[in-house]
Amino acid sequence: MVGEKSLKEKTINRWSYSRLGTYESCPKKAYYRYIKKVPEEQHPAAERGIKIHNLAEQYIKGEIEEVPRELYLFYEGFEQLKEGYNDGEVSVEEQWAFNLSWEKTDWDGEDTWGRYIIDAFVKQGNYAKVIDFKTGRFKDNNEGYKKQCSLYASCVLKRFPELEKIDAELWYLDHHKITRFHFERDELIEAKEKFHKRAISMTTDTEFKTTPSEFACRFCSFTNICKDNFYERS
């Protein structure tokens, strides 16, 4: 048991899309953030994003009457989500988790391995739509966002195996623009396998080597404690 405990302390045993992104940009950065939990300052844009996501959730759930100013550009979309929520076809900001076999489990269960939160999820029979709310800049054809959507779609396909069609939409709330993706079952099975391998690498790593680069270190909160930081070395 002692061995198990110390191993858990040395690995990042739960993953999400954002954790994977952090880890792959630099394993040491993930170590500081998720194992050592070194405090970080929150960027004002991130704070704003969280606030707007909360407003969207409250509005869809009927906890606030008026459409918040920040959601005006998607007034009709949010009306439809609100109606769908009342009809039991829409869920919002649900915390979903899965184990190593990608089977549904508790958010904080003994066997929890992967976690994801979908901003809005629409399910009508064997059709589902994953919606992600974006604030800030509009990034059309963003490969990272497409991959994020493919992970969410893979997860919901495992959670609801009866699904035949899964779409994903990115709603750029500040721009009144939507990017849409459609996923076939076969490509999701392939995407899931790729994510699985990447997540295994992350959740079994015990070394957390640094991979300094101009990009990784520029957006790192730990440059002051990391002796390998790109700017220190160059």
Please say which residue, 12 or 217, places its beta carbon nearer to ligand SF4: 217
Nearest to 154 by CA among 184, 177, 119: 184
Please say which residue, 42 or 224, places its beta carbon nearer to ligand SF4: 224
Residues that bind ligand SF4 (CB under 6 A): 26, 28-29, 210, 212, 216-217, 220, 222-223, 226, 228-230
Q: Closest distance between ligand SF4 and the C-beta of residue 212, in Å?
A: 4
Q: Closest distance between ligand SF4 and the C-beta of residue 66, in Å?
A: 43
Cβ–Cβ < 8 Å for 156, 130: yes
Please say which residue, 76 or 214, places its beta carbon nearer to ligand SF4: 214
Q: Closest distance between ligand SF4 and the C-beta of residue 232, in Å?
A: 8
Query: Environment class of residue 15 by beta-carbon count within 10 Å: exposed (0-12), middle (13-18) or buried (19+)?
Result: buried
Q: Amino acid identity, residue 31?
A: Y
CB atoms within 10 A of CB 229: 20
Please say which residue, 70 or 228, places its beta carbon nearer to ligand SF4: 228
Query: Environment class of residue 212 by beta-carbon count within 10 Å: exposed (0-12), middle (13-18) or buried (19+)?
Result: buried
Radius of gyration over alpha carbons of the chain, in Å? 19
Q: Closest distance between ligand SF4 and the C-beta of residue 217, in Å?
A: 4
Please say which residue, 65 or 207, places its beta carbon nearer to ligand SF4: 207
Q: Closest distance between ligand SF4 and the C-beta of residue 34, in Å?
A: 12
Element (H, E) at 28: helix 27-30
Task: Return d(Cα 63, Cα 178) in angstroms, integer.
Answer: 25
Q: Closest distance between ligand SF4 and the C-beta of residue 25, in Å?
A: 7
Please say which residue, 26 or 81, places its beta carbon nearer to ligand SF4: 26
Token look-up 């007034």 returns: 75
Task: Return d(Cα 183, Cα 165) in angstroms, integer.
Answer: 7
Nearest to 216 by CA among 11, 21, 39, 42: 21
Please say which residue, 33 or 134, places its beta carbon nearer to ligand SF4: 33
Q: Closest distance between ligand SF4 and the C-beta of residue 48, in Å?
A: 24
